[in-house]
Structure 1
Amino acid sequence: MCSDQLIPNSTDVVALVGSRLCHDLISPLGAIGNGVELLTMSGTEMSPELQLIAQSVASANARLKFFRVAFGQAAVDQRLGRPEIVAVLAGLAKGGRLDFDWQAEGDQARRDVKLCFLGVLCLEAALPWGGLVTICSTGGNWRLTAEARKTKPDPALWQRLDGGEGPIGPAQVQFALLPAEAAQQRRQIAWEVGETSAQITF
C-alpha cells in the first residue's frame, strides 16, 4: 500500500508538469539562440529575418525562465538570489507590456517568489495596456502593487482568489494556482483593483 506522503496533490502535479515542460524546452531554445549567434559570428549579415528569430528566442527564453518559477516545483529549502530574480523580470519586461520594480533585498525563498510571479500574472491580466508592478516585502509579508493609466479587471476571475468558482481558460490559470499555492503555504491572499491601480498581498 502506498503511503499518503507519496501521493502528490493536484498543485504538486501541476508544479511537476511545469518543471518538466520548462526543463525540456530550455535546451532547444538555447540551441536556436546559439545558432543565430554562430551565424552572425561567421559574417552572416543580421537580416530582418535573423533579427526576428533572435528577438523571438530571447522573448521565449525570458518567459520560460519566468514560467519555470511561477509554475514549476519549489522545495521548501530552495532560494533565489536577488540578481537572478531581477534578471528574470527584466527579461520579461523586454517582451511584454509591464515594467517591474523588485524592491525586496537579498535572497528569497523560491516558494515566496513563486507566489509573487503568480501574482504578477494575475495583475498582468488586469493591465492590457501595460503598467508598472512594484514588489516589496516587509516582515515576511508581500505586497504587489500595479499602477497604470487604466485597468480592465474581470470580477469573476478575481473572485477566484477568494475561493470563488467558475470556468477559466489557459490564459487565466494563475487565478486558480495562486490561491492553491497560498493555501499550501498557509498564507491569506487579499486584493483590490481600482480604475488605475491594483494590489495583491499575502
Structure 2
Amino acid sequence: MTDTLARDIAAMIGSRICHDLISPVGAISNGVELLAMSGAAAGPEISLISESVENANARVRFFRIAFGMASPGQMTSRREMAGVFKGIATPRLTYRWEVPEDMPREEVKLACLMTMCVETALPRGGEIRIGRTGGQWSVCAQAERLAPAPDLWARLDALSPAEGLRPSEVQFLLAPMQAAALGRRIGHATGEGQLTLTA
C-alpha cells in the first residue's frame, strides 16, 4: 500500500466518523438549548452539559479538518477556524488563529495536525498561536513548562512507519505525510518557554 493510498483511506475514515458524530452532538446541543429556553431546567448541571456539548462539537469539527478528506480547491474560512479553536480551548490551554484570510482545506489540515503535535508538549497547558507568513505555517507554543518527546519530534522530519506509536500520537505520522503531499517538510525549534513548528 502506498503512502498516498494509506493517507487517503485514513482521511476517508476520519471524515466518515466525524460526519456520523456531528449530527447527534448537534441534536444534544439543540436539546439543551430548548431546555434552557423553556425554563424546565436550569443551574450548574445544565451549564456543565452545555459547555461539554459545545466543546465536543468544536472538537469533532476540528478532527474533521485534521483527519478528514481535503478536496482540491476546497476552502476553509478564517471565521470557521477561529470558532473551532475558541470551542476547543480550555482554562489551561488556549489557541490563537492568526491567519487573516480563508485558506485551502488541505493547508488548514496540515496546520491542525501540527497543532495536535504541539499540544503533546504542553502537559500543564499554555498558549498555541497558529500563523502563516510567506506561504509557511508557524505553530508556536508558549508555556511555563514544555516537554516535547524527542522520539516523537524526530518523526516530524520525514515519513516514518507506525511502529512504536500509540493511537494518541497518530498526528506524528500524519503531519509529515500531509506536509509531503504539499511539497514541504516540518521543521522545529525550541527556546526558553517556547516551541515552534514550521512547514
Cα 1:50–1:101, aligned 2, differ >3 Å: closer, same or farther?
closer
Q: Is the Cα contact below 8 Å between 1:133 and 1:144 reproduced in 2? A: yes
Instruction: Report the counterpart of residue 155 of structure 2 in structure 1.
Output: 160
Which residue of structure 2 lines up, in the alignment, with residue 64 of structure 1?
60
Matched, 1:30 2:26: yes
Within 2, Cα distance between the matches of 1:157 and 1:191?
A: 12
Match of 2:15 among 12, 19, 23: 19
Q: Does 1:174 align with 2:171?
A: yes
1:51 & 1:149 partners in 2: Cα distance? 30
Confirm or deny that 1:112 pairs with 2:107: yes
Q: Which amino acid aligns with 1:126?
A: A
| Contact kept in structure 2, 1:151 and 1:195, CA below 8 Å | no
Which of 117, 135, 142 matches 1:140? 135
Does the 8 Å CA contact 2:157/2:185 hold for their aligned counterparts?
no
Deviation, 1:51, is 2.5
Between stretches 72-81 and 96-105, larger displacement belongs to 96-105
How far did residue 69 of structure 1 move? 0.6
2:155 pairs with 1:192 = no
Shift of 1:45: 2.7
For normalisation by structure 1, the TM-score amounts to: 0.90
For residues 112-164 of structure 1, the C-alpha deviation after alignment (integer angstroms, 9 at most, x for no partner) is 11111101100000001111112221221111111111101111111111235
Tell me if 1:98 matches 2:86.
Answer: no
Q: TM-score, normalised by structure 2?
A: 0.91
**Contact residue 151 and residue 194 of structure 1 kept, 8 A:** no
Shift of 1:111: 0.9
Which residue number corresponds to residue 5 of structure 1?
none
Q: Which amino acid aligns with 1:190?
A: G
Bigger Cα displacement from structure 2, 99-108 vs 159-168: 159-168
The superposition leaves residues 32-86 of structure 1 with CA deviations (integer Å, 9 ceiling, x where unpaired) of 1111111222221313332322222111111111111111111120111111111
Secondary structure, aligned partner of 2:127: strand
Distance 2:187 2:15 in 1: 27
2:35 maps to what in 1? 39
Residues 22 and 64 of structure 1 are in contact (CA less than 8 Å); yes or no, is this contact kept in structure 2? yes
